[in-house]
Structure 1
Amino acid sequence: MTSGEAFSSPDALAEALASTGYLAEPGLSTVTWLAHRLRRPLLLEGEPGTGKTALAEALAELAGTPLIRLQCYEGIDATQALYDWDFPRQILHLRTVEALAARHGDADPAALEAELFDERFLLARPVLRALRESPCVLLVDEIDRADDEFEAFLLEVLSTWQVTIPEVGTLSAENPPFVVLTSNRTRELHDALKRRCLYHWIDHPGLERELAIVRSRLPDVDAALAEQVVRLTQALRTEGELVKTPGVSETLDWARALHALQASELDPELAARTLGTAVKYREDTERVREVLDRMLAR
Structure 2
Amino acid sequence: MTDAHVPRSPGDLAEALESTGYLADSGLAMAAFLALRMGRPLFCEGEPGTGKTSLAVGLAQALELPLIRLQCHEGIDASQALYDWDFPRQLLHLRTLEAASAGSLDAEAAESSLYTERFLLARPLLRALTEAPCVLLVDEIDRADDEFEAFLLELLDENAVTIAELGHIRATTPPLTILTSNRTREVHDALKRRCLYHWLEHPALDREIAILHRRIPGIGGDLAAQVAHAIHALRRLELLKPPGVAETLDWARALRELDRDVLDAEIAAATLGAVLKYREDLDRVTREGLDRLVT
Structure 1 Cα separation of the partners of residues 30 and 146 of structure 2: 30
Identify unmatched segments of 5+ residues in structure 1: none
1:57 aligned residue: 57
**Matched residues in 2 for 1:6 and 1:245: separation?**
36
Could you say which residue in structure 2 is the equivalent of 1:100? 100
SS in structure 2 of the partner of residue 14 of structure 1:
helix
Structure 2 segments unaligned to the other structure (5+ residues): none
Matched, 1:261 2:261: no
Using the TM superposition, name which of 92-101 and 63-72 deviates more. Answer: 92-101
Deviations 1:211-265 (A, max 9, x none): 0011101113233222211110011011x22111001111011111111222222
One-letter code aligned to 1:17: L
Structure-1 separation of matches of 2:251 and 2:194: 38
Q: CA-to-partner distance for each residue in 1:134-169, whole Å, 9 max, x for gaps? A: 000000000111111111111121101111112112
Alignment equivalent of 1:170, drawn from 148, 168, 171: 168
**2:132 matched to which residue of 1?**
134
Deviation at 1:3, TM superposition (A): 6.6
Q: Which residue in 2 is equivalent to 1:110? A: 108
CA-to-aligned-CA distance 1:170-214 (integer Å, 9 cap, x gap): 111011100000000111111121111110100011110000011
The alignment partner of 2:193 has SS state of: helix
Deviation at 1:90, TM superposition (A): 1.2
User: Match of 2:181, as an amino acid?
Assistant: S
Corresponding residue SS for 1:185: coil
Q: After superposition, where does 1:206-221 map in structure 2 within 5 Å?
A: 206-221=204-219
Rounded to whole Å, the distance in 1 between the matches of 2:64 and 2:3 is: 7
1:61 positional shift: 0.6
Query: Is the CA contact (8 Å cut-off) linking 2:5 and 2:63 kept in structure 1?
Result: no
Compute the TM-score of the two structures, normalised by the length of structure 1: 0.95
Counterpart Cα distance in 1 of 2:291 and 2:220: 21
1:10-49 matches, within 5 Å, as: 10-49=10-49
My pick for the range that moved more, 46-55 or 283-292, is 283-292
1:284 paired residue number = 281
- Please tell me the residue identity of whatever aligns with 1:173: A
| Structure 1 residue 101: Cα displacement | 2.9
Aligned partners of 1:164, 1:241: CA distance in 2, in Å? 46
Tell me if the contact between 2:49 and 2:246 (Cα under 8 Å) persists in the aligned partners. Answer: yes
1:187-206 aligned at under 5 Å gives the runs 187-206=185-204
- Paired AA for residue 282 in structure 1: R
Which residue of 2 is the match for residue 248 of structure 1? Answer: 245
Which residue does the alignment assign to 1:275?
A: 272
Identify which range, 88-97 or 200-209, moves more after superposition. Answer: 88-97
Q: Give deviations 1:20-59, integer Å, cap 9, x for gaps.
A: 1111110110111111111110000010011001010011
Secondary structure of 1:92's counterpart equals: helix
Q: Which AA in structure 1 matches 2:79?
A: T
Q: Distance in 2 between matches of 1:211 and 1:246?
A: 15
Whether contact under 8 Å (1:3, 1:64) holds in the other structure is: no
State how far apart, in whole Å, the 1-side matches of 2:5 and 2:68 are. 23
Q: SS of the residue aligned with 1:45? A: strand
TM-score for both structures, normalised by structure 2:
0.95
Structure 1 runs (4+) deviating above 3 angstroms are 2-6
Task: Report sequence identity in percent.
Answer: 63
Q: Give yes or no for contact 1:46–1:202 (8 Å, CA) kept in 2.
A: yes
How much is the aligned-residue C-alpha RMSD, in angstroms? 1.4
